[in-house]
Each structure stands twice: as C-alpha cells, then as structure tokens.
Amino acid sequence: MVKLIGSPIVIIAIIIVLMVSFSFFFLTESEEFGPVFIQEPDDVIFPLDSDEKKVVMHCEARGNPPPTYSWYINGTEVDAEADYRYSFIDGNLIITNASEVTDYGKYQCKAENSFGTVLSRDGTLQFAYLGAFSGKARGGVSVREGQGVVLMCTPPPHSPGKKIIYSWVFNEFPSFVAEDSRRFISQDTGNLYISKVQPSDVGSYICLVKNTVTNARVLSPPTPLTLKTDGVMGEYEPKIEVHFPTSVLAAKGVTVRLECFALGNPVPTITWRKINGNIPKKARLRKSQAVLEIPNIQLEDSGTYECKAENPRGGTAFKGHLQVYTLPQWVRMINDTQMDSGEKLQWECKATGRPRPTYRWLRNGLPLTSQGRMEIVNGELSIHKVQQADSGMYQCVAENKYGAVYSNAELKILASAPVFIPNPIRVIATLGKDVSLECKPRASPKPRIAWKRGDRRIQPNKRIMLLRNNTLRIVNASRADEGNYVCRAENQLGSAELTAILSFVLPEAMRVELTPARVEVTVGESVVLSCKATHDTSLDVAFQWFFNQKPINFQQDGGHFEYIQTVRVRQSSTVDLMIRSILLKHAGKYGCRAQTSADTVFTEAELLVRGPPGPPGVVIVEEITDTTATLSWTRGLDNHSPISTYNVQARSPFSLGWQTVKTDPVTGDMESAIAVELNPWVEYEFRVVATNAIGTGDPSAPSRAVRTKEAVPSVAPANVSGGNGRRHELVISWEPVSEEFQNGEGFGYIVAFRANGTRGWKEKMVTSADSTTYKYRDETFPPLTPFEVKVGVYNNKGDGPFSSVVVIHSAEGEPREAPSDVRAYSISSSEIRVTWKGYEVSYWKDMEQEESGKKQRTVKNETSMVLTGLEGNSLYRITVKAFNSIGHGPATAAVTAKTRKTPPAQPPANLIWIQEGNNVSLSWDPVKAKDNESDVIGYMVSSLPFTAVTLAHFCTYIIEVRALSEGGDGAVSSQIRLVTSSGTLFFSL
C-alpha cells in the first residue's frame, strides 16, 4: 500500500493493519494450549531373536508449553530411575534387554503441560519367538492298515500363536505331507491326522513349525509310523477328531478359518452348513473341505455353523457358534471449547461397536464422576456455570471388552477485562444518511455495555437506537450528531471505554469518473481505463473493478488485467485498469466502484473490441451442376470492422482437408457465390470464411454434403506401358484413374492397339475401374512384335480421352533348341558328372519313371555339373533342357551312366604289429570285395593326428587301415595305439 500524502485517517488505518498482523503473529507463535497427541503407542510384536534387543514404544504430542511425558505398564507408572532398562527419548519409551516375562503388557503414555494432561490409548507389547523341540526321541506309532491315526506335533513354546504355521515332513526334508481328503494338519494344534492309514504312509514323520514373524523354523524329532501285521482294519463310521471351538470370536473384517476333520474308513467327506441361514457367498472351502474360510467377516456372518462328516458307515456332526465383534468407533467426538465463566458446557461423544461401548470421562487423566455442577450420563458431560478451575484436558473414552477409543478436547475458560482495539475510532458519514457505531470489545465473561455522549448516558429514542449487538444506530444523521461517543464495557475483571469520533461529509460529495467512457481497440492491443474519484479530503477511498457487473479477479484472468494504483492528489484518487493483449471476449462494460466510509459510487465504461469477423451463418447449396455449385449464407459478426471478402472452401473424400475453391470475387456485401471448376460426380461440403481489415475469422459450419452431376470423363490413364507376359501375349498396363476423376457411374477403360505399321486399331473394353492391365493373346504374331498402344476412358455419359500412343512389345519366345553334346560319366558309387553345351538337368534311375526323378539347374551357362546323392551300382538316365524366364526348351535325348559299385563294407581285420624302436611292421587280413562291391585296388594306412610318418619324440600315434576301391574308400579297421620314444616312425607292411 503506497500512500504519499497522509491524513489522520490514513495513519489510523496503518496502525490497525500493524496491530492486526501483530496479533496474528502472536496467535500462531505463542498461542498456548494443552497437549494433543500426534502419535500414540501402537501394538508391537517384538522378535526376541532380533540383533537389537531394544523395544521402542512411540508417543508424541504437540502442546505449548511443550508437554512432558510419563509411561504406564498395566496401569503402573514406569520408574526409569529405579530400572536402568527403561529410558525416555522425547516422548518415546525405550526398553533394553526386553523379555516376555518382564515386559509383556499394555503400555500407555501420558502427556502433560500447564494446561492439562492426556492419556494415550493402550499399545500392547508382545514378543515373537519359537523355542526348540526337545531332542528326546519319539516313540513309534503302529497301526493297522485302514485305521485312523493322529500324530502329535507338541510344538515348543512359541508366540504369537496366530503367526505360527505347521507342516509335516515325510521321511526326509524337503518332502512334505500333502494334505488331501485323507490327511489333514490342524493349524491350531499342529497335529497331523490320517483318517485311514495306507501302506504308503509307513515312514517317519517330522513336525515343522514356522514363526512367520521371526521366520524361525524348528523340526521335531521323527515319529516312525509302522503297520501292524495282525490284520487290516475293517470299515468304521466317521469320528470328528478336529473341530473349531464351540464358541468362536472374531473381529469384524478379519478372515476366519473353521477346521473340521474326521477319521473313518472309508475316508469321510466333510460338508458345512449354517444353521438358520446360508454360508456366506464369499466363504471358501479349503483342504478338501476340512476348512471353511470366511474372509472379511461381518456382523451378519455370525451364527451357528455345523460341519458334518459322513461315510457309508454313518455320519456325525459338530456345531459351534461364531460371534463377530467390532471395536468401538467414533461417530461423534468432542472438540476444543472456549467459554466465558458462568456459561454451561455440554459435550457429547458417541461411538458404535459390538458389544455396544460404554463411556468414561477423564479430566487431566483422572476419572470424572457426576457431582456438584458436573453431570455425566453415558457419552454426555455437562458442567453448569463453568469456572476457571474447570479448565483442562478432557477425554471421553468409549470401550467394549475388545478395545477402547479416546476423544480428547481442551476446555478453556476465558477471563479478561474488556479491551478495545483500535481505540479511538473515527467515523465519517454522509449527512442525511444512517450511521452505525459499533462497540465490540474483547472480554470474558461478557461485559455490560453502556453508550455515553459527553458525560450523559444516551437514552435511545426513535432516531437513536441501541441494537441488540450493542451497536448504536443514528437514523437520518444531521450536523448536530457530530462529536464524540463513548462506549463503556465492564465485567468482573475490569472495564474499558471506546471513543468513536463522528463527523460528516456532504451528500453527493463524491464523484467518480471513468475515462475513456467508450473505447474501441483491436484484438491484441492493450488499453488503460482510468478511474478517478473526487471526494472529501478527510476520507480514505477504496476502489474495485468490475467486468460486466462481476468483480474482476486479477489473479485468475490469465494476466490480461492489471490493477495500477496511482497517486492521490488532494481531493481526488485515481486507479488504472490495464487490459493487455485484448481478446474478443474482453469486449463489454467495465465498472469502477469507489467506496469511502461515507459513500459508494459506481460508473461504467464500454470497451468495443475490433477483431476478425465471426463465422458466417448457415451455408446452403442452392444449385449444383457437374462442375459448379451455387452457395448462399448469412452474415456473421463483423466485430467492428467491415467484412471485405468471403472465401469459399470445399472438402471432398479426395481432398486433404479443406481447400479454397475458385469463385468469382465475393465482396463483403455479398452473401452468395458460385464455386467453379469442381470435379463431376464428387461429393462436396462447403464452408465460408469472412475477412476484414483485421484478419480472417473462423469458418462457418460446413454445408450438407452434395454430389456434383455426372459428366464424360476428362482424364486419360497415365503411364501406359507393358511387355513381358507369356508366349504369344501382349501385356498392356496403366495407372488406374482415381474415383475423383471418373466423373460418373459405369467407368471403364478402352484399350486400343495395332501392330506397328498396320492401320486399324483393335479396341477392347475393360469394364472394371480398378483394372490396371489387359492381356491380348494371339498365336499369329511372332515373339517381341512391336505394337502401338493407347488406353482411353469411358463412363455412362460417354467416352473420354485416350492416353498418348506408346510402343509395347509382345512377349519373347522360350528357347527353341535343346543343348547339344550331352555326356555323363560315373565318378564314384554315388556321383555322376554330366556335360553339355548349354541348363536344367533331369535324372532318374533306369528302372523308374522320368517324373519321379530329380532336377538340378546350372548357374548361368555352365556346361557341366556333378550329380550327387546317387545310389551305388545303378544305371541313371539323364536329360538336359535349356530354360529362361518364359519356360523350357525341348529336352535332349536321354544319356545313361552307371554309378560304380559301393566300396567294400568289410574293414581290414586282425591288425598285427611289431614295434622295434621307430620301426613298426603292420599286417592284416586282406579284404575280399563282394559281387555288388568294387574291387579292392589298395589299402591306406593312416596315423593320427598326422598322416605323415615323421613325427616328434615321445608321441602317441593312432593307426588305422582301410581298403581303397573304385567306388571309394572302404570301411575303416579298428585303431591301434603306438608310443614312440623319439625320431621317425617307419612302417613296414
């Protein structure tokens, strides 16, 4: 706030501002209040085996002065002096070397300051642990086949019971007993039940106990299960061996598991029902029906549940009651309350819960009972005529046997002598109007009020009234009312007086002027409106700006508006409103309101915004031909600048969005136009945009879609070409004409061609608009004949233009001649070499059909190839054809060749060797070729890893022998190993 020229009023105003902000500061920083919990102790499960043997119970409260804390275990205060294991850090209680024996219990924290004391809710400290099984061997269990058996787990000490999981190991870890209709593990006791023992059950059983809090696992000693040999147990009726308790209590929202399992032969089946109702839909049967699991249990799930075990021998049932409880929950809590002494306090708290909660009240942590001015009925507390001594922290506790909830509040009894801030006050009013003088001291208890003028007490009359809220009201004020008025306030604690100095200004003394009163600006420009108020020099004036009668919010309006405070000069004050980057929506009435304590005046200015034209109104297609559309529309807003031209835009399925279409010039005073050069038989939408000196506006809404009339096609196919194809074919192709240019229904192509040098065109119709090729077949013209070709278009309206003429050759012919000089030679028992002059080689066994043979193609013009993968000692027939992209030429006459006989299958046998130094003599039995085998022409001795005979010192040689034949290498002999000391190894055979 900038005030350059002061006056008494201004100074007072500044003082008020300072005091208000000071007292606000005072309130937030230094307001004093009783303790309020931020954190209360939680239930804690402490794993005894954790490394850090320190339990922390948390508690924290706000308060001013800061609260101090103490702790209670089972209701007895913790004395940290007496027991070194306890220490306090802030509000928290830390217990070192915690153990179940000494520390299990309910913990409650107390926070206290000079305004009172509050007790926290209870937090239970529990310990999680799992002892070890005694190592004592367990006696075996011996039963007859068919009998039922229970193997006891007898777990070691453990806690908490609900976090323990039991399973059984069969014979050896990790082989677990699978639960099924015959076998069941109770998660209450850990025992394993087998309803009907089978021989496969014989073995040793180990109970595995796991604590899910500590993750500890322990294994029991094994219990051997054996079968008695004195016979098999006959059938017997079911006996329920595991069942849930007769009375089950569960907290609302938890998952309840009811167990039921029976021994019997045959194995009993278990069924469940709820007496007088249905099993809840959300319930699930687990472990072959032995467990009924009800998730998220609700009050309506309470009731009697029955499980029944049946087998052909009989049946038996068990019933138990499930009861659901809920912890108390607040419906209505108590709140901090301040009151004057002598008033009546009434607090009510209310909670739901099952069983229904009962209520207790505490003041500063101590129980309250009805007595004297205090009355307690359940959740209602009343204190008649409160006194200073009733101040303090109050707690309403709602509890049932499952838990308690606390609602806390502070009662403050106010006590202060009356104070007036500010004082004195100056009131300036307009002559002839009504004036109100307020008297609102801070005081508690409520003070008595009296108004005086000078020394005289004011007697209310028709013109001067004392309202119920202690305000003095003067109707139709006159000069005679000017002067000092005093309001006196008094209570038990003291008194104070407020002086109100009343003065007047003449009516109509204030005027306000807004300039310019009417202004035209263009979109994007800025403007400043100046609001000047002329008023009594003694008055302070406040301004407010309005747009179309609504106060302008300077923060919200996107930075378009700025309030500019200007200087006050004697009797006039001025403020400016800057409107930046004006948009069309900123056009309208701007109001300025000037207000003093005596008067309020208001005036308005009008802002016109020039902008591009608004969208024209409805566009109508009046008439349509094959290439033109006559359109009309209605004028839109000109936004204060005359419309100079209109543009017509069109959109069709073939255009990329909206495109301007050709029209005669359309000036701003016209409201119709003819769009020309449209394509025939195309569906168009039209819209219009208006332009003025400032710019082009938004387009109108599109017209309805209309189709131009049909016309003869006018566009010939592009890129007419062709060639290739099969023998005797002339292939002609082109780019199809898009639907946009088909100009009507029944569109197709006319293909015209003639052999070069001939006269008449042959014409063929192609009736599909999507076709892109035409094939003409005629055996009479030779391959690669040149043709002149052109392609034209037509539709129902008539024929359109032809493309220009191009020359296209007909297809080439296939090779005319077979390769010459084909020969074939046998290479081995599986290979034949074929030679020729010039392609595809076909070959087949003499005994078989040509069609069943195989083909192999040469690369380019190679004139020999090796055929592989053949059968030994077989006659093959072979032909060769030339081929190209069109097809094959004729085949040569078949030539024949016979593969050689296969090499001997018999390896050289009875290898014998004699080694003398580096000399080795080798011998073997000769190989005799069979009739269907090639004759042996020699032998090959190989020594591995090298075939050479000169080798390094001390080497191991692997030596093998095989026969050689025309058909290839024969089978290899068994290997012999030789070690030499040095030098070269010589063979003698």
Ligand X SMILES: *[C@@H]1O[C@H](CO)[C@@H](O)[C@H](O)[C@H]1NC(C)=O
Q: Looking at 327-335, 784-792, 804-812, 833-841, which segment touches ligand X (CB under 6 A)?
A: 327-335
Minimum CB distance to ligand X, residue 74 (Å): 4
Give the separation between CA 446 and CA 456, rounded to whole angstroms: 23
Minimum CB distance to ligand X, residue 445 (Å): 22
Minimum CB distance to ligand X, residue 332 (Å): 6
Q: Looking at 332-340, 426-434, 524-532, 855-863, which segment touches ligand X (CB under 6 A)?
A: 332-340
Minimum CB distance to ligand X, residue 333 (Å): 6
Site string for ligand X, 492-521 (x = CB under 6 A): ------------------------------
Minimum CB distance to ligand X, residue 105 (Å): 3
Question: Token match 């007898």: residue?
Answer: 154
Which positions ≥6 away from 357 have C-beta within 8 Å?
A: 328, 351, 398, 399, 400, 405
Minimum CB distance to ligand X, residue 95 (Å): 10
Number of H helices, E strands in the chain: 2, 88
Q: What is the sign of the dihedral through the CA atoms of 977, 982, 984 and 988? A: negative
Sheet holding 527-534, edge to edge: 511-515, 527-534, 572-579, 561-569
DSSP letter (8 states) at residue 947: S
Q: Looking at 97-105, 150-158, 208-216, 783-791, which segment touches ligand X (CB under 6 A)?
A: 97-105
The β-bridge partners of 971 are: none
CB 341 within 8 A of CB 412: no
Tokens of 811: 């297809």
347 versus 681: smaller Cβ distance to ligand X:
347
Characterize the bridge pairing of strands 773-777 and 729-735.
antiparallel
**3-state secondary structure at position 541:** coil
For residue 734, the number of C-alpha atoms closer than 13 Å in the C-beta half-sphere is 30
DSSP codes of every residue in 379-412:
TEEEESS--GGG-EEEEEEEEETTEEEEEEEEEE
Question: Token match 């367990």: residue?
Answer: 138
Minimum CB distance to ligand X, residue 293 (Å): 31
Site for ligand X, residues 797 to 816, rule: CB under 6 A:
none
The β-bridge partners of 261 are: 242
Minimum CB distance to ligand X, residue 23 (Å): 23
Does residue number 332 form part of the binding site for ligand X (CB under 6 A)? yes
Tokens of 311: 């087998």
Question: Token match 């100056």: residue?
Answer: 426
Question: Token match 């919990």: residue?
Answer: 37
Minimum CB distance to ligand X, residue 73 (Å): 5
Minimum CB distance to ligand X, residue 32 (Å): 21
Locate the DSSP E strands across 220-295.
Answer: 223-232, 236-243, 247-251, 256-265, 269-274, 284-286, 291-294
95 versus 737: smaller Cβ distance to ligand X:
95
Count of positions (residues) in the chain: 989
* Pick from 276, 261, 384, 264: nearest CA to 312: 264
Q: Per residue, what are the HEC states of 657-718?
A: CCEECEECCCECCCCEEEEECCCCCCEEEEEEEEEECCEECCCCCCCCCEECCCCCCCCCCE
Tokens of 950: 């000169």
160 versus 815: smaller Cβ distance to ligand X:
160
Site string for ligand X, 195-224 (x = CB under 6 A): ------------------------------
Q: Looking at 103-111, 152-160, 504-512, 573-581, which segment touches ligand X (CB under 6 A)?
A: 103-111
Residue whose beta carbon is closest to ligand X: 105
306 versus 348: smaller Cβ distance to ligand X:
348
Give the separation between CA 968 and CA 136, rounded to whole angstroms: 79
Minimum CB distance to ligand X, residue 29 (Å): 23
335 versus 388: smaller Cβ distance to ligand X:
335
Minimum CB distance to ligand X, residue 617 (Å): 56
Q: Residue 989 is which amino acid?
A: L
Minimum CB distance to ligand X, residue 357 (Å): 17
Among 23, 39, 50, 74, which residue interacts with ligand X (rule: CB under 6 A)?
74
Minimum CB distance to ligand X, residue 330 (Å): 10
**3-state secondary structure at position 877:** strand
86 versus 236: smaller Cβ distance to ligand X:
86
Determine phi and psi for 355, rounding to 5 degrees.
-60, 160
Site for ligand X, residues 336 to 375, rule: CB under 6 A:
348
Q: Looking at 99-107, 498-506, 810-818, 881-889, which segment touches ligand X (CB under 6 A)?
A: 99-107
348 versus 966: smaller Cβ distance to ligand X:
348
Give the separation between CA 685 and CA 229, rounded to whole angstroms: 99
75 versus 135: smaller Cβ distance to ligand X:
75
Tokens of 525: 């420009």
333 versus 509: smaller Cβ distance to ligand X:
333
73 versus 258: smaller Cβ distance to ligand X:
73
95 versus 605: smaller Cβ distance to ligand X:
95
Minimum CB distance to ligand X, residue 562 (Å): 39
Minimum CB distance to ligand X, residue 164 (Å): 19
Minimum CB distance to ligand X, residue 394 (Å): 12
* Pick from 330, 325, 327, 326: nearest CA to 379: 330
Give the separation between CA 111 and CA 60, rounded to whole angstroms: 8
The 10 Å Cβ neighbour count of residue 114 is: 10
73 versus 650: smaller Cβ distance to ligand X:
73
Helix (H) or strand (E) holding 765: strand 762-766
Site string for ligand X, 273-312 (x = CB under 6 A): ----------------------------------------
124 versus 721: smaller Cβ distance to ligand X:
124
343 versus 490: smaller Cβ distance to ligand X:
343
Q: Looking at 101-109, 782-790, 802-810, 956-964, which segment touches ligand X (CB under 6 A)?
A: 101-109
Among 104, 133, 602, 658, which residue interacts with ligand X (rule: CB under 6 A)?
104
Does residue number 105 form part of the binding site for ligand X (CB under 6 A)? yes
Count the residues of the shown chain that bind ligand X, applying the rule CB under 6 A.
9
Give the separation between CA 40 and CA 19, rounded to whole angstroms: 39
Minimum CB distance to ligand X, residue 634 (Å): 58
For residue 545, the number of C-alpha atoms closer than 13 Å in the C-beta half-sphere is 25
Q: Per residue, what are the HEC states of 116-179?
A: EEEECCCEEEEEEEECCCCCCCCCCEEEEECCCEEECCCCCCEECHHHEEEEEEECCCCCECCC
Site string for ligand X, 227-246 (x = CB under 6 A): --------------------
For residue 807, the number of C-alpha atoms closer than 13 Å in the C-beta half-sphere is 7
Characterize the bridge pairing of strands 164-170 and 203-211.
antiparallel
Which residues contact ligand X by CB under 6 A? 73-74, 103-105, 332, 334-335, 348
